[in-house]
């Protein structure tokens, strides 16, 4: 019993520990004596740390407001405050010679533009006439001593197009979105963070209030600073009243009008500072910032004594931006990527089966011929596996029609190109898809006019997720067995079953960083189709019913590239689809012996695939799994098609089919099947020669290994 209780306790602890992030103290930086460190910001490379410094304990001398400054610390190791070296440089921000007037003092939020050309300083004095933010050019990038106050720009919350309508002043914090098109400014009087649109990126003189704000008054009435995560999905507020860091999630990146939810709090820095400073008197959080990938967080803490001791504390995080809790990584981009894996597995099954059904239909239309070889392509494969397989299916060989007799093996090939688009959902971004396939096969006719055979397929399936160039590029190799059995001259049963090997090159964008990996998979599938043919007014009416079943197992794999990298767990994907449709065609024979057969297809496809569950975890925090349920894109789908089959007396055949599959409310896929070939004779070998020099299916060269998935497979060939 005791062992059981111990096990239950350990399990409970292990599970509850997944809820909370772990911040581990690393080091401390002692700032200038007598100064309150009120702002924190790093240069992009992490070798410079900028801090606001308020020196208002006296009226004159080193502690007077006239000494309010922005300091620049040099770090010999990027984002490591313990590596600070030398004496920090500074620029004074108070007074007419600096940021405009005597009221601009006590700098709070401090930022430097990504290119180092500007510094931004927030003001907390509260003067009705004072500026709230000062933008100062730097004549030498990232060097605060080069501040050009003669070309400064002053920003007020209650002035002109920036007027928020409440007479607000006093700003403790500022931030931008990723491209500098939005400015965020906090107002201490209003307890709000306001959003401004910038017509010129990172230029606050172009700011215009857009009536979007976040009211934090339900959680705190006095904040010292705020900051967004790199992707804008998380907001952090430094609560000066309660000495807490408040962590919020946003349903839309950098959008303060979206659903904003408080997900956790953090206050370890107070006890840590008290421990290091050997005091616990009046400690207050003053600012926070992060390194470039969210693996570290930094706080400035001040003890309000006459000496105003201030320190900067550095912590490592278990997961990106996991100050209070590890933020759920399942944003729309990632959910869209995981969904793309599921959709890819289903497309590959469909693309394996469709050429087989096309071949069976062609055999049925031409079953009166003695030779049913349909050589569409001569294939010179760069792909080693296909080159090997082609030895077992002799596509492109010369078959003498006169030597062929009923019962011999017949050989065929088919190529296909399709493109599609899956619309954006509330929890996942839109996806664009394209795939290319080549199938080569051999079949044999029995004495009862039954056909059976086998085929090999190689294909490439690519999916672009959203607009950030996240790409899944998958190669598949498949072996398929098939057959058709006539019950009489009008009824047929078609079957196909096979297996595939999958390999995906994975590229996901996160905070402008490429996260890459390779994933393998295996798949089995099968299909059975019932057909009946009616002849009415020289029109063949072919109603059919089909069921497709399959199962895909995707392996686990790890991304690499940044602290945001994830581990993807194994993913099992079952597929079940049923269809009912009708194919109409009419054969027209011309005087020269050629025949033309136009075709129209209408088909309803119902997807009864069950939903699946999978999970991911941060590589930096492997004990915490994030689960997602993946359902089918659409239960109800409609396929329409139009095409023709042209055959000449000399043996030429041209088959062209266009099909569109519409998923109810989820997008569509367009497929084009183009077959040019002939039944070979003594003087003909194949319809079209394709090799690496003039390959129509160049996408099947499949030479990726990333570099943006080989410039999207040479711009999709």
Residue 434 has pLDDT above 70, yes or no: yes
**Cβ contact 95:66 at 8 Å:** yes
Residue 12 clears pLDDT 50, i.e. is over it: no
Most confident by average pLDDT, 595-599, 648-652, 664-668, 704-708: 595-599
Average pLDDT in the 101-122 region?
86
> What DSSP string describes 338-387?
HHHHHHHHHHHHHHHHHHHHHHHHHHHHTTTSS---BB--EE--SSHHHH
- pLDDT band at residue 411 using 50, 70 and 90 as cut-offs: confident
Which residue from 347, 398, 371 is spatially nearest to 663, judged by alpha carbons?
A: 347
Structure tokens at 588: 């027209």
pLDDT of 171 strictly over 60: yes
pLDDT score of 712 more than 70: no
By the 10 Å C-beta count (0-12 exposed, 13-18 middle, 19+ buried), 365 is classed as middle
pLDDT single digits (tens) 113-169: 999 999 999 887 655 556 688 999 999 999 999 999 999 998 888 888 888 877 666
Percentages (nearest 5) of helix, strand, coil residues in the chain: 15, 50, 35
Q: Are 323 and 560 in contact (CB under 8 A)?
A: no
β-strand 470-486 against 491-510: which pairing, if any? antiparallel
State residue 674's pLDDT score.
66
Quote the CA–CA distance of 450 and 427 in Å, as a whole number: 49
Give the mean model confidence (pLDDT) for residues 512-534.
93
| pLDDT for the residue 4 | 44
Q: Is 96's pLDDT higher than 90?
A: no
d(CA 41, CA 416) in angstroms, rounded, equals 54
Contact 687, 679 (CB under 8 A): no
pLDDT digits (tens, 9 = 90+) for 611-637: 899 999 999 888 889 999 887 666 788
Calculate the dihedral angle through the C-alpha atoms of 16, 20, 24, 29, rounding to the nearest 10 degrees.
-160
From CA 322, how far away is CA 404, in angstroms rounded? 72
Is it the case that residue 339 has pLDDT exceeding 60?
yes
Cβ proximity of 17 and 623 under 8 Å: yes
pLDDT one-digit tens code per residue, 296-325: 999 988 766 555 567 899 999 989 999 988
Statement: residue 715 has pLDDT above 90: no
Range of 301-315, 446-460, 545-559, 619-633 with top mean pLDDT: 545-559
More confidently predicted of 515 and 664:
515
Q: 42: Cβ–Cβ under 8 A, 6 or more apart, which residues? A: 48, 49, 50, 79, 289, 291, 292
As a whole number of angstroms, the distance between CA 328 and CA 325 comes to 9
User: Which of 99-113, 134-148, 337-351, 372-386 has the lowest average pLDDT?
Assistant: 372-386
Per-residue pLDDT, averaged over 441-469, amounts to 85
Query: What is the per-residue pLDDT for 693?
Result: 39
- Is 93 a residue whose pLDDT tops 70? yes
Contact between 51 and 31 (Cβ < 8 Å) = yes
3-state SS of 501-512? EEEEEEEEEECC
User: For 7-21, 316-330, 590-604, which range has the lowest pLDDT when averaged over its residues?
Assistant: 7-21
Name which residue leads in pLDDT, 335 or 303.
Answer: 335
Higher pLDDT, 657 or 531: 531
Q: Is the pLDDT of residue 705 over 50?
A: no
How is 159-203 classified by DSSP, letter by letter?
SGGG--SS-------EEE-TTSSEEEEEETTTTEEEEEEESSTT-
pLDDT digit string, tens, across residues 240-251: 888 889 999 998
Question: Which of the four pLDDT bands, split at 50, 70 and 90, describes residue 432?
Answer: confident
What pLDDT score was predicted for residue 143? 96
- The mean predicted confidence, pLDDT, of the chain is 80
The mean pLDDT value for 521-531 works out to 96
Overall average pLDDT of the 61-67 stretch: 48
In this predicted structure, the answer to whether residue 394 has a pLDDT above a threshold of 70 is no
pLDDT at 219 over 60: yes
Q: What confidence tens digit (pLDDT) does each residue in 495-515 have? A: 999 999 999 999 998 878 899
In the three-class reduction of DSSP (H, G, I as helix; E, B as strand; rest coil), residue 391 is classed as coil
The reported pLDDT for the residue numbered 704 is 42
pLDDT at 273: 64
pLDDT: which is higher, 127 or 664 = 664
Task: Determine the Cα–Cα distance for residues 623 and 239; give it in Å rounded to an integer.
Answer: 30
Query: Does 508 or 470 have the greater pLDDT score?
Result: 508
Residues 201 and 183 sit within 8 Å (Cβ to Cβ)? no
Burial class of residue 544 (count of CB atoms within 10 Å of its CB; 0-12, 13-18, 19+): buried
**C-alpha R_g of the chain:** 34
Q: Which residue has the higher pLDDT, 280 or 671?
A: 671
Cα–Cα distance measured from residue 256 to residue 194, given in angstroms and rounded to the nearest whole number: 8
Confidence of residue 468 (pLDDT cuts 50, 70, 90): low
Report whether 528 contacts 577 (CB < 8 A).
no
Asked whether the predicted pLDDT for residue 259 surpasses 90, the reply is: yes
């Amino acid at each position: 019993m005791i062992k059981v209780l111990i096990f239950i306790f350990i399990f409970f602890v292990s599970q509850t520990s997944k809820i909370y992030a772990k911040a581990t103290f690393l080091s401390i930086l002692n700032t200038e004596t007598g100064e309150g460190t009120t702002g924190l910001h790093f240069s992009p490379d992490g070798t410079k740390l900028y801090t606001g410094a308020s020196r208002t304990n006296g009226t004159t001398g080193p502690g007077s407001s006239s000494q309010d400054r922005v300091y620049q610390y040099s770090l010999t190791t990027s984002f490591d405050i313990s590596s600070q070296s030398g004496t920090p440089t500074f620029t004074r921000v108070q007074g007419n010679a600096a940021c405009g007037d005597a009221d601009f003092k006590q700098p709070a939020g401090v930022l430097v533009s990504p290119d180092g050309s500007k510094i931004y300083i927030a003001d907390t004095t509260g003067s009705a006439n004072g500026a709230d933010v000062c933008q100062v050019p730097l004549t030498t990038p990232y060097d605060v001593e080069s501040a050009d106050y003669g070309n400064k720009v002053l920003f007020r919350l209650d002035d002109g197009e920036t007027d928020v309508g409440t007479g607000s002043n006093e700003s403790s914090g500022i931030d931008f979105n990723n491209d500098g098109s939005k400015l965020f400014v906090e107002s201490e009087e209003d307890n709000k963070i306001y959003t401004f649109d910038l017509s010129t990126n990172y230029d606050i003189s172009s700011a215009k209030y857009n009536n979007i704000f976040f009211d934090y008054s339900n959680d705190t009435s006095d904040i010292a600073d705020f900051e967004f995560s790199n992707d804008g999905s998380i907001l952090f507020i430094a609560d000066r009243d309660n000495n807490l860091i408040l962590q919020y999630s946003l349903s839309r990146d950098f959008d303060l009008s979206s659903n904003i939810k408080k997900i956790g709090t953090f206050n370890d820095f107070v006890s840590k500072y008290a421990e290091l400073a050997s005091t616990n008197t009046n400690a207050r959080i003053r600012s926070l910032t992060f390194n470039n990938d969210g693996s570290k967080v930094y706080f400035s803490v001040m003890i309000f004594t006459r000496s105003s001791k201030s320190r900067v504390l550095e912590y490592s995080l278990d997961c990106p931006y996991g100050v209070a809790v590890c933020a759920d990584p399942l944003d729309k981009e990632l959910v869209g990527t995981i969904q793309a894996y599921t959709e890819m597995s289903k497309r590959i099954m469909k693309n394996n089966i469709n050429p087989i059904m096309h071949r069976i239909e062609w055999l049925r239309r031409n079953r009166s011929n003695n030779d049913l070889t349909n050589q569409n392509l001569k294939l010179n494969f760069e792909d080693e596996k296909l080159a090997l397989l082609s030895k077992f299916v002799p596509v492109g060989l010369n078959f003498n029609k006169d030597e062929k007799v009923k019962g011999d093996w017949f050989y065929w090939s088919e190529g296909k190109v399709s493109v599609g688009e899956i619309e954006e959902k509330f929890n996942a971004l839109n996806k664009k898809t394209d795939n290319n396939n080549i199938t080569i096969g051999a079949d044999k006719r029995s004495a009862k006019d039954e056909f059976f055979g086998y085929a090999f397929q190689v294909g490439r399936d690519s999916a672009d997720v959203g607009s950030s160039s996240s790409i899944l590029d998958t190669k598949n190799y498949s072996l398929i067995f098939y057959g058709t059995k006539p019950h009489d001259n009008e009824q047929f049963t078609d079957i196909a079953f096979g297996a595939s090997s999958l390999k995906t090159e994975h590229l996901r964008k996160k905070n402008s960083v490429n996260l890459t990996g390779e994933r393998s998979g295996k798949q089995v599938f099968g299909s059975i189709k019932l057909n009946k043919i009616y002849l009415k007014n020289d029109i063949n009416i072919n109603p059919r019913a089909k069921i497709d079943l399959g199962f895909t197992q995707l392996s686990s794999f790890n991304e690499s590239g940044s602290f945001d990298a994830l581990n993807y767990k194994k993913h099992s994907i079952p597929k079940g689809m049923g269809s009912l449709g009708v194919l109409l065609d009419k054969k027209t024979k011309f005087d020269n012996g050629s025949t033309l057969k136009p075709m129209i297809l209408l088909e309803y496809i119902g997807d009864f695939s069950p939903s699946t569950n999978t999970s991911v975890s941060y590589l930096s925090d492997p004990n915490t799994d994030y689960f997602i349920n993946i359902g089918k894109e659409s239960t109800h789908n409609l396929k329409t098609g139009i095409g023709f089959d042209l055959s000449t007396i000399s043996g030429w055949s041209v088959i062209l089919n266009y099909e569109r599959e519409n998923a109810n409310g989820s997008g569509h896929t367009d497929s084009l099947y183009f077959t040019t070939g002939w039944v070979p004779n003594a003087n003909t070998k194949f319809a079209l020669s394709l090799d690496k020099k003039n390959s129509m299916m160049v996408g099947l060269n499949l030479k990726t290994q990333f570099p943006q998935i080989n410039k999207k497979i040479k711009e999709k060939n």
